[in-house]
Amino acid sequence: MPGSSKMDLLTRLREEPLPFAALLGIEIVSAAPDKIVAEMSVRGELCTRPDVLHGGAIMAFADTLGALGTIANLTDGVGTATIESKTNFLGAARVGARIVG
């Protein structure tokens, strides 16, 4: 079974060290092998001007969720790496907003 751990997936993902995700303030809301949900508050230090979330921060948020989904489905001892990523931006997130992915 992928990620064959005794603890549930949400607990496991929350407890595994993800320093960059912590720096961004990403909080995992729910986790299942087929769906990871997380949130991130838009803070000034993650923004471009005029107080709009930087595209790189959005990409990092999306990449982190993709990585968590992959981790949730890996067997023990197996690793992964991102080969390619593309994002289309449809709107802006301003300081104080909370994004959900």
Overall fold of domain 9-100: Thiol Ester Dehydrase; Chain A (3.10.129)
Q: Does residue 3 carry a pLDDT above 50?
A: no
% of residues, the chain, pLDDT over 70: 93
What are the residue ranges spanned by the domains of the chain?
A: 9-100
Q: Does residue 5 carry a pLDDT above 70?
A: no
Between 2 and 60, residue with greater pLDDT: 60
Per-residue confidence (pLDDT) for residue 7, from 0 to 100: 64
Q: For residue 56, what pLDDT band results from cuts at 50, 70 and 90?
A: very high
The single residue listed with the structure tokens 């909080």 is: 27
Helix and strand totals (H; E) in the chain: 3, 5
